[in-house]
Amino acid sequence: MKKTTVINSQLSAVIANMGHMDWLSIGDAGMPVPAETPKIDLALTKGIPSFIDVLKNVLSELKVQKIYLANEIKAQNPNQLEAIKKILPNVEIEYMPHAELKKSLKKCHAFIRTGEMTSFSNIILESGVTF
């Protein structure tokens, strides 16, 4: 049995296959996912697992050099934005309109659906290198 923190087999496989500058997305339960983007559905019920819990778990194994967020998070979910910044304090943030973020999911290796039920709790992680 795997000893590290990400024990979901689908999620672990996606992270293991990521290269420099590849994209992985984590989002709330309502985010529409393009048909061509694999979806790893972790949602159990409202709020479980939370966006932040899943983000922390992914970051335990994935090196991230940049993140992409919707502009709308600034005004409509500032608490989530502050939590993201606290977890990723030295990572570059690029903001874009939510509509563009949704279209960008086509470029992601996968979308991880959480049980999060707060608006604009969606992120694209750009992988870095560990050397």
CB atoms within 10 A of CB 92: 11
- Active-site position among 5, 17, 20, 107: 20
CA–CA gap between residue 92 and residue 125 (Å, rounded): 10
- What does the alpha-carbon distance between residue 103 and residue 80 come to, in Å, rounded to a whole number? 22
Cα 48 to Cα 127: distance, rounded to the nearest angstrom: 25
Radius of gyration of the chain (CA): 14
**Does the annotation list 22 as a binding residue?**
no
For residue 112, list its beta bridge partners: 26, 40
98 marked as binding residue? yes
Q: Is 122 annotated as a binding residue?
A: yes
| 28 annotated ligand-binding residue | yes
Question: In one letter, which amino acid is 63?
Answer: K
* Backbone CA torsion sign across 128, 3, 57, 35: positive
- Active-site annotation holds for 20: yes
**Residues marked as catalytic:** 20
Binding site, annotated residues = 28, 98, 120-122
Q: Which residues are annotated as a binding site for substrate?
A: 28, 98, 120-122
